[in-house]
Amino acid sequence: MRLKQSVLCVSAALLLTQTAMAQNVEEKEENIERVTVRGAFFGQQAAAGVKTPTLLVDVPQSVSVVSAEQIAQQALFSVADVMQYTPGVSIGLGEDHRDQITIRGQNTTADFFVDGLRDDVQYFRPLYNLERVEILRGANALLFGRGGGGGVVNRVTKVAETTEDFTRLSAAMDTFSAGSISVDTNKVIDDNQAFRFNGVFDTIDNHRDFKDGERFALNPTYTWVVNDDTTLVTSYEYVNDDRLVDRGVPSLNNAPLEGHRDTYFGNPDFNNTTLEAHIARARIDHTLSENWSVNGTLQFADYDKAYQNLYPVNFNADTVEVTLDGYRDTTSRENVLMQLNLIGQFTTGDIEHTVLTGFEYGSQDTSNARRDAFFEVSQDDQVTFAFTDPLVIPSMTLTSPVRDRASDVTFASAFVQDEIKLNDNWIVVAGFRYDNFDIDVVDTIEVANGSDDGNNGLLASSDSQVSPRAGLIYKPSKNMSLYASYSKSFLPRSGDQFLTLSLSSAALDAEEFENKEIGIKYNVTDKLSLTAAAFEVERENGTALDPNNPERSILTGTQTKGFEVQIVGELTDKWSINAGYSNLDGEEMGRVVNGSLANRELAQLPEHMLTLWNQYALNEQWRVGLGLIHQSEQYATLSNTTELPSFTRVDAAVYYDYSEDLSVQLNVENLFDKDYFPSAHNNDNIATGEPLNARISVQYQF
């Protein structure tokens, strides 16, 4: 109730203040009602992720857009950096080999997309070739399919442009010798063809002992404007990543271990992750008529991923001993994805329609194997030994595979949605998606063991789900909307990486996510927007042990309630701002211990998250930036034992434009050198925040 009242108060205040500006904004927006605007730093009007040319003010859900310009100006290096400036999203350590985030209480490693296509392999996604990052919060199955219970992250890549030739070169280096060199060059071949190349080379380092690594990536794209109605865009991306794996510090007395911000709890000669990815894609856009258009995309991707690590599982202060565990994990995956979208914009009588209908098909073949560490001294995969800095780790080898599985996933989807503009004040959005998800698993170890135990190693599961979406929008003016929405999503029992299917899980229904949301969006000017939303996300059909019978499982779930607000844009001609706040409260539903309800708080879900980034132009050449990130305390895991303390970090920047072609910037992170712990993977794998760190960057274009 408190959250709903907050939204209503904000709504009332905005209704009182917007009248004087409404006419001016309405006139400016008349000309962009059906246009997708791309690449704006502030005032982004539309998002590719919604798949229709609908203004964000008319989308009945929370959407944040982070442009390439903002990424460059804040010196953001990773998806985690981008997420830290997004309300309702917290970051996880991800075992230091993958992007892992929690959106509205839903932890995920798979709800990532690139140009609207699934990108669910576990790795660190680079930012070098992006036009922008779109974060769509709330259950998103209608647009994206399975998963996305709390939201999705869609990366929009750069494509070749037929309008001009340009080349942009960038180089950067920070206090810890982490550096980056990138190029973005576009060549117009003729009036209808263009070629673009983006490339990057990163060296990886930070304050942690032994941390190092390298990553390089390249992405050529080709655009062919076949005629006035048809455009073809093709691209290929290659990513090669090789870095040390660092899973942070252990806990002590239910808090992160203090005094060892730089100490490495692993083996620098063993801990490592590598990725090699090939992603080829072709998209064709065709205008069928004045009212109808169609686009189709075909993508093939091949990923080879490996990581191996020793990591802390306990620290004993009394005996001054540390316990490590370890394994090596390999994954290869091939994705073939096809997507077809048909968009119609027409009227029936006085009612306007924007219809989206489409089809999606995917095939994902995955092989995964794991070998445990084996320590001679303990005859186990764990070992306890005297703590020193650096660690002196007993010798180890690797076991035979303890997991060796191959999965074949196919899915087919069909969806339809209609945005119905009843009049100037009311819009109804309604639609649904049908998904069929099939998985076949070959467990090589179980196959070798035979079927006497009831498991022959050949497992299969099939899920068919209908995911609805409905929204009601009231527009007191063109630049303001108040909305209410309802949406559902699902996740099959195989999990988001297709590794958890078993005899018991194959028989259970898919997990379901239900999102209810009310909110307001207000384009204060064509360069400044304010959004606010209150929401509730319920997750059903999770599993837990039956307290009355440990041999059985019961169905349980989680509930997250929250409120978020964000203001993005230009307050004046010289002052730009990106500010966000979220208040989140999440817990289990239906957990019973000793006959009593014993719901626990959700992990990695800070109650309060506040971010603020300001940029002010002193004159035509000099600008300054000042930012703040505040995060309240959070539990590392669902056990609700180890707690990461709250922190506040201040960042700053100085920009100097020497000329139209040459600019230099200095970004300073953690200006006041605070010790903090931004994320965790479990109770004994906790990341330590970087100390004071300066990064200087140079950009040149011609």
pLDDT at 506 over 60: no
pLDDT at 492 over 90: no
The whole-angstrom separation of Cα 204 and Cα 96 is 12
Which two tokens mark 326? 């370890």
Which of 214, 208, 317, 205 is closest to 266 using CA atoms?
A: 208
DSSP letter for each residue of 288-317: -SSSEEEEEEEEEEEEEEEEEEEEEEEEET
The H or E element containing residue 143 is helix 141-144
Enter the DSSP assignment of 380.
B
* Helix residue spans in 471-580 (DSSP H): none
* Per-residue pLDDT reduced to its tens digit, 334-344: 999 999 999 99
| Phi, psi (rounded to 5 degrees) for 506 | -65, -25
The H or E element containing residue 407 is strand 396-421
Which of 375, 368, 469 is closest to 428 using CA atoms?
A: 469
Which of 139, 138, 147 is closest to 119 using CA atoms?
A: 147
Cα-trace Rg, the chain: 25
Q: With contact defined as beta carbons under 8 Å apart, do 231 and 249 qualify? A: no
Domains, the chain, ranges and CATH? Answer: 2-701 (2.40.170.20)
* Per-residue pLDDT reduced to its tens digit, 257-281: 999 999 999 999 999 999 999 999 9
Three-class DSSP labels, 106-117: EEECCCEEECCE
Which two tokens mark 659? 């000329």
Q: With contact defined as beta carbons under 8 Å apart, do 340 and 296 qualify? A: yes
The whole-angstrom separation of Cα 380 and Cα 653 is 50
Residue 253's pLDDT is: 96
pLDDT at 698 over 50: yes
Residue 232's pLDDT is: 98
Q: With contact defined as beta carbons under 8 Å apart, do 439 and 461 qualify? A: yes
Q: With contact defined as beta carbons under 8 Å apart, do 171 and 179 qualify? A: yes
Beta-strand pair 396-421/426-443: antiparallel
pLDDT at 421 over 60: yes
Structure confidence at residue 29 as a pLDDT band (50, 70, 90):
very low
Q: With contact defined as beta carbons under 8 Å apart, do 431 and 356 qualify? A: yes
Mean pLDDT of 85-102: 94
* Per-residue pLDDT reduced to its tens digit, 314-333: 999 999 999 999 999 999 99
pLDDT at 20 over 70: no
pLDDT at 1 over 90: no
* Per-residue pLDDT reduced to its tens digit, 289-304: 999 999 999 999 999 9
Residue 8's pLDDT is: 39
Which of 475, 544, 339, 471 is closest to 26 using CA atoms?
A: 475
pLDDT at 521 over 50: yes
Share of the chain above pLDDT 70, in %: 89
The whole-angstrom separation of Cα 300 and Cα 319 is 53
Residue 542's pLDDT is: 59
* Amino acid in position 389: D
Write down the mean pLDDT value for the chain: 90
Residue 373's pLDDT is: 97
Residue 561's pLDDT is: 96
Beta-strand pair 151-157/112-114: parallel
* Per-residue pLDDT reduced to its tens digit, 202-235: 999 999 999 999 999 999 999 999 999 999 999 9
The whole-angstrom separation of Cα 154 and Cα 156 is 6
Residue 147's pLDDT is: 87
Which of 3, 20, 7, 25 is closest to 569 using CA atoms?
A: 25
Q: With contact defined as beta carbons under 8 Å apart, do 198 and 218 qualify? A: yes
DSSP letter for each residue of 2-54: HHHHHHHHHHHHHHHHSHHHHHHHHHHHGGGTT------SS-----GGGSS--
Question: CA geometry: angle at 83 spanning 92 and 337, to 5°?
Answer: 90
What number of CA atoms fall less than 13 Å from residue 86's CA on the CB side? 30
* Per-residue pLDDT reduced to its tens digit, 60-86: 999 999 999 999 999 999 999 999 989
Torsion from C-alpha of 634, 635, 640, 642, nearest 10 degrees: -120
Residue 6 neighbours by CB under 8 Å, 6+ apart: 532, 534, 563
The whole-angstrom separation of Cα 337 and Cα 363 is 7
The H or E element containing residue 551 is strand 549-570
Q: With contact defined as beta carbons under 8 Å apart, do 130 and 143 qualify? A: no
CA–CA distance from 392 to each of 262, 336, 387, 395 (Å)? Answer: 16, 46, 8, 9
The whole-angstrom separation of Cα 129 and Cα 522 is 30
Mean pLDDT of 639-647: 96
Q: 3-class SS at 393? A: coil
Residue 508's pLDDT is: 64
